[in-house]
Amino acid sequence: MAQSIDDEDLTRLRGRTVLVAGGRVSGLATVTPLQDLGARVLVTDSDAGAVANAVARGAGGVHQDELLADSAAFDDIALVVTSPGLRADSAILAAAAGRGIPIWGDVELSWRIDRAGLYGSPSKWLVVTGTNGKTTTTSMLASILDSAGIDSAACGNIGLPILDALQQDPHPAVLAVELSSFQLFWAPSVHPEAGVVLNIAEDHLDWHGGMDGYVLAKAGALTGRVAVVGLDDERAASLASTSPAERVVGFRLTEPSVGELGVVGPDLVDRAFAEHASLVPVADVHPAGPAGVMDALAAAALARAVDIAPEHIADGLRTYQVGPHRNAVVRTLGGVTFVDDSKATNPHAARSSLLAYDRVVWIAGGLLKGAAIDELVAEIAPRLTVALVIGRDGIQIAEALARHAPDVPVVTYPAGDDAGVTRVAEDADEVMQAVVLEAARRAAPGDTVLLAPAAASLDMFVDYGHRGRSFADAALALTGSDVGDRGGRA
């Protein structure tokens, strides 16, 4: 865990060197604020282009290999600010820790800069984390804050660096902050006005060294004034008893008890911040279905924690627009519906969309990141008509299908002796075109061809957005003659 430094130590950075480990979006966002604190900024990365971008912003730059080769390179460094994806045992961070140099994440730096009032009065942080639903919940919350007329910004893991948000004009009074487990791990000082843990399922276990480390990182969102937990998720609910928050609130899909939000008849209802306040009809929540309602309840709980009125919550949820690659219908052709849920980057996320359709031609695979797939496959097996698996860990999904769904035809890309071989991004669109065409040929009217990979995308694609766009482009290129020309079955 990052080492602790008193807040007043920000003033001690003047004239000192701060090493920024990682020169991508979050790393570059730290350059100007660190310079505003009077620090000398040195950015390191394994990519020469990223180092060049940092130099163009007025920072110093050094390639990671060059830095590690210089035994005296760390002598003048007062602080390391790390990009969230770097593990504590990475070469750069291990070298810094071995010399007793404090290590902060960019979110930790953001929190301390905000508390110090560098860019204005400290903002209220509303933190969203969980294995799945983070971006949807954060976006719903941002829509609610906008409907209430509050100067705010959605930032963090959702895309906009927190430090960039803090420099906006007008300065945001409230931040809707999406945080990953990596970001929380490197930000131990963050104590938000309110924070939510939506759910916890196996994900990033390789990074955290197991489930206990992953759960501990997620629990960092519950250390502020109000802690909100998803009661229908056993692991998330268990954090209620250990949270140091002044107040713990739960939400559930069924009728809420006192101190909870939930569903009563046709409405989302708050019994935590009011005796009984109807918030919005379930029918007005998008995306529809249990996952969308849960995310809406979580967003509503955070909004109620900062005294936003029910009518603004209703307006914000009604006007919220679902983001791309989240169970989005691309087209219907020949009675077959093509759905892009590329954002389903782990088995827990894929489960929600797979259970929404009765007959599924499933496109899955990528990087499982240590997550188990058997439980998901066993549960959704009756819905599958065909499975097409891609990517580095696709063979693991194919093997699980053989164990739990032996009657479901499985096609592996690449096939034969090349199965399980990583394909580089230049080949990814070509592979996706072949997969979607094969899926269309094997589909029958009434089937859903669903991209719900249950795995990360970076073995083949630039990111999950690239994967989703590739799927959509391939589906839109199909003609009527491509659908069902094998009678819908292998």
CATH code, domain with 44? 3.40.50.720
Give yes or no: residues 339 and 469 share one domain: yes
pLDDT at 4: 42
Instruction: Determine, yes or no, domain membership for 81.
Output: yes
Residue type at position 444: A
Q: 490 in a domain, yes or no?
A: no
* 370 token code pair: 């240590």
Compute mean pLDDT per 10 residues along the chain, 490 residues long, and list them. 51 94 93 97 94 94 95 94 92 95 97 96 97 92 97 93 95 97 95 97 71 92 98 96 97 98 98 97 91 96 98 97 82 94 89 87 93 93 96 94 96 59 63 95 95 94 93 95 64
In a domain, 485, yes or no: no
Number of domains within the chain: 3
* 24 and 152 share one domain: no
Residue 161 exposure: Cα atoms within 13 Å on the Cβ side: 21
Residues 237 and 180 placed together within one structural domain of the fold = yes
Query: What is the domain range of residue 373?
Result: 328-477
Q: Is 134 annotated as a binding residue?
A: yes
Residues 356 and 418 in one domain: yes
| Residue 214, domain CATH | 3.40.1190.10
Residue from 398, 381, 380 nearest 389 by CA: 398
- Return the number of other C-beta atoms located less than 10 Å from residue 477's C-beta: 11
For residues 187 and 174, give the distance between their C-alpha atoms in angstroms, rounded to a whole number: 19
Instruction: Please tell me whether 133 is known to bind a ligand.
Output: yes
Place of tokens 């009657």: 407
Alpha-carbon gap, residue 82 to 421, rounded angstroms: 31
Residue 489 forms part of a structural domain: no
What are the structure tokens assigned to 196, written together? 């939510």
- Is 135 known to sit in a ligand binding site? yes
What pLDDT, on the 0 to 100 scale, is given for residue 328? 84
84 and 142 in a single domain? The answer is no
User: What pLDDT is attached to residue 264?
Assistant: 98
Q: Is residue 58 part of a domain?
A: yes
Terminal-residue alpha carbon distance, the chain: 51
**Owner of token pair 């409907």:** 147
Rounded CA-CA distance 135/154 in Å is 10
- Is there a single domain that holds both residue 314 and residue 332? no
Q: How would DSSP label each residue in 313-336? A: HHHHHHH--PPTTSSEEEEEETTE
Whether residues 115 and 254 share a domain: the answer is yes
The answer on 409 and 306 residing in a single domain is no
Which domain CATH number covers 352? 3.90.190.20
132 is in an annotated binding site: yes
The whole-number pLDDT of residue 199 equals: 95
Q: Is 96 part of any domain?
A: yes
Q: What's the pLDDT score for residue 487?
A: 44
3-state secondary structure at position 386: strand
Residue 146 lies in a domain: yes
Both 341 and 368 in one domain: the answer is yes
Q: Are 419 and 310 in contact (CB under 8 A)?
A: no
Q: 222 and 312 share a domain?
A: yes
Same domain? 385 vs 463: yes
- Predicted confidence at residue 59, as pLDDT, reads 97
Q: Identify whether 117 is part of a domain.
A: yes
Interatomic CA distance for residues 264 and 253, integer angstroms: 9
261 and 365 housed in the same domain? no
